[in-house]
Amino acid sequence: MIPVTVFAGRKVAVFGLGGSGLVTAEALVAGGAEVFAFDDNPDSVANAAARGVPTADLRALDFSSLAALVLAPGVPLTHPEPHWTAVKAKAAGIEIIGDIELFCRERRAVAPDAPFVAITGTNGKSTTTALIAHLFANAGWDVQLGGNIGTAILSLEPITNKRIYVVECSSFQIDLAPTIDPSVGILLNLTEDHLDRHGSMENYAAIKARLVKGADAAVVGVDDDWSADIASAIEQHGRKVERISVRRPVTDGYYAEGSAIFEAVDANTRQVADLAGIGSLRGTHNAQNAAAAIASARLLGLSDEAIEKGLKSFPGLAHRMEEVAKIGHVLFVNDSKATNADAAEKALSSFEHIYWILGGKPKTGGIDSLEPYFGRIARAYLLGAASDVFAETLDGKVSAVKCGTMDRAVAAAAEDAARDEAQEPVVLLSPACASFDQYRNFEKRGDHFRELVLARAAAGVPSEVR
């Protein structure tokens, strides 16, 4: 845990006692703050109290006596309307912050030279964060990985100048971090997302921009207009910017051509990496992720040799184009994290000869936008609530079968793929749907797929059906 000492001896309210909120309250207590923790869920309050966290009904508390209100990132700050605690805090004139902001203040207080890489963007955050952490860990650094990727930032090891902190940041977290100041800030891309929480695309982009505007060095993907404008604005203020593109060469920064990553300095270019043969980094979207990771690693002094070794050994993320096994000549890929069509597009664009397992609780728009990739699909295997509507979309375009459940889909897809004479047919779970009709979350769905595939591999299922 990182004890938060910057509020020692002062009163702080903490609202939202889920995973990160509970850790935040404990970190403040450990740092000497007088904490008043609360949640709208009585069970969460009881759990916090059982763990020794001081709790109080914030509805009855005089907020003018507080130094700050610390909100969990899931609590609305502005839209669709401010949470009642935010209304009380604004009326009392106290600041409203989150756990990322507490980390930043503690870092400035105790170890301002501790390397801190912060990553945001609409897509690709988790892969880029994991890849950066892997590059440094593989080179022998003491790496602390956390934030939106699943580990609360304040649960990491205490801040020292000898540790590097690699942190994924959501827009919700950045909104509560007004002084975020990483050594390297990365903005991968921007498309419409979470507008119900931010009100407009302009607000959403401005929040994301805060992370890179406060960085010592900024790495910005420039393949969308919003991000390109942010890069230009940072540069106009005299800050260092490394531009990233997978669509065109840049004069200063990094760009991809096929599987090759190039560095450009004053229009002079050199190849710095080749992703060919690295299964965990397939596809154009992963070229962007890799380019951003390479840029940040080089900014912090990692050698080209260390970067090359790290790229080649990167295992990838669970449930995101995760290569589970190869049975005979058939590759099995778990992309359960693809809970909408935009996410599934990344996987469909990365493979040929696809035996596609999809379905679940459908999202607005379905899979209509994926039609340009239907030519890559040998057959589709439909799961859950979306089966009927997806069958209609695919009718006359892709051979499809309603399997209903994952075990039936895996068995049918594996048997069909085994008969494919292509060099590497792929059984791909990329559902383009939420999981909630059959699974608690996408992780459970992906775990089930992985278990079924590994069971087939362990049983020695032949690559040819008899």
Tokens for 265, please give them: 């300095």
- Contact residues for 37 (Cβ-Cβ < 8 A; gap 6+): 13, 14, 15, 17, 21, 25, 45, 48, 53, 54, 55, 56
Q: Is 194 a catalytic residue?
A: yes
Q: For residue 385, what are the contacts with CB-CB under 8 A and spacing of at least 6?
A: 359, 360, 361, 362, 433, 437
User: CB neighbours (10 Å) of residue 161?
Assistant: 12
Choose the catalytic residue: 83, 88, 123, 125.
125
Could you tell me where the DSSP H helices lie in 123-180?
125-138, 171-175
- Tell me if residue 363 falls in helix, strand or coil: coil
Q: Which residues contact 277 (CB under 8 A, 6 or more apart)?
A: none
148 as an active site residue: the answer is yes
3-state percent breakdown (helix, strand, coil) of the chain, nearest 5: 40, 25, 35
> Distance (Å, rounded) from C-alpha 200 to C-alpha 221?
21
88 is catalytic: no
Q: Is 323 helix (H, G, I), strand (E, B) or coil?
A: strand
Of 79, 194, 240, 402, which is the active-site residue? 194
Q: Which of 123, 148, 289, 340 is catalytic?
A: 148
Which residues are designated catalytic? 125, 148, 194
